[in-house]
Amino acid sequence: MSVRKLKPVTPGQRFRVVNGFDAITTDKPEKSLLAPLKKSGGRNSQGKMTMRYIGGGHKRKYRLVDFKRAKTGVEATVESIQYDPNRTAFIALITYKDGEKSYIIAQNGLQVGQTVNSGSGVAPEIGNAMPLSEVPLGTIISCIELRPGQGAVMARSAGAFAQLMAREGKYATIKLPSGETRLVLAGCLATIGAVSNSDHQLVVSGKAGRKRWLGRRPRTRPVVMNPVDHPMGGGEGRASGGHPRSRNGIPAKGFRTRSKSKASNKYIIERRKK
């Protein structure tokens, strides 16, 4: 993992920091694992804009990533580490012994030629998916299920990882990337190791156009809007806009929006840090 700082030959390159892509081994995706990806431009079925600041962007194909790792007990070999335009993490193309190919989220340190496995009874090595009941305590894990068989939903983005803290009864205690500590059923699968592309947070776009290539349109600051458009709009001159809040009036910067009666509250031991 590395980043490259470009020479300031143009205004757009002056502060630009790009990913070194050291871990990437090929730029050709597996055709059988591609699916079409349609853009909405933030419009609904009537053609009305329901989500602002979305539109444009480069054409993409979706990579069918296996988050469930349901093919248990069958060894697979890592064929290549690839870039995925739909997520921050890198993905790995694996081939099972029976010839089936699949994409999985690549963990830090996963190498071409390495074998990975999933299910009960596998070794706790990087890239292997196993139930939390069998993961050694203190292990760094990622791609964690919230319900058995659901597929990975937590700690999936670039550089993300969680830590298995304890086990008691049918629950395992996990410290999540947000700082939250919560209980998860010990039958849920988790992958050993942190997610790849940990240097993603160091990347600097360098120019506004690069955001447009990602499909993000310019975002209007609420303070410069009119009162009819936003609670923070209006006023004479450069008015501060009062208390920071969302478009529908919910306070921002520290206001807790989580429901006090949410069913999963009992599984949270420690809330995430502010």
Residue 274: which domain range? 223-274
Asked, for residue 207, whether it belongs to a domain, the answer is no
Q: How far is CA 234 from CA 41, 60, 77, 219, 237, in A?
A: 28, 40, 60, 17, 9
Both 14 and 68 in a single domain? yes
Q: Work out the widest C-alpha separation in the chain, in whole angstroms.
A: 70
Question: Is residue 214 domain-resident?
Answer: no
Cβ–Cβ < 8 Å for 103, 66: yes
d(CA 133, CA 149): 15
Q: Is residue 36 part of a domain?
A: yes
Based on the fold, state whether residues 229 and 188 are members of the same structural domain. Answer: no
217 domain residue, yes or no: no
Give the per-residue pLDDT at 237: 86
- Count up the domains in the chain and report the number: 2
Q: What is the pLDDT of residue 244?
A: 93
Kindly report the pTM of this predicted structure: 0.92
Q: List C-alpha distances in Å: 67 to 39, 104, 105, 116.
A: 23, 7, 8, 14
Q: Are 239 and 177 found together in one domain?
A: no
Q: What is the CATH number of the domain that holds 242?
A: 4.10.950.10
Contact criterion met (CB below 8 Å) for 225 and 233 = yes
Same domain, 35 and 126: yes
Instruction: Tell me, yes or no, whether 21 lies in a domain.
Output: yes
* Judgement on whether residues 159 and 45 belong to the same structural domain of the protein: yes
Same-domain check for residues 189 and 270: no
Render each residue's pLDDT in the chain as its tens digit; 274 residues: 689 999 999 999 999 999 999 999 999 999 999 999 999 999 999 999 999 999 999 999 999 999 999 999 999 999 999 999 999 999 999 999 999 999 999 999 999 999 999 999 999 999 999 999 999 999 999 999 999 999 999 999 999 999 999 999 999 999 999 999 999 999 999 999 999 999 999 999 999 999 999 999 999 999 999 999 999 999 998 887 789 999 999 999 989 999 999 999 999 999 987 6
Q: Are residues 192 and 268 in the same domain?
A: no
205 occurs within a structural domain: no
The angle at the Cα of 21, spanning 194 to 144, to the nearest 5 degrees, equals: 20
Contacts of 266 (CB under 8 A, 6+ apart): none
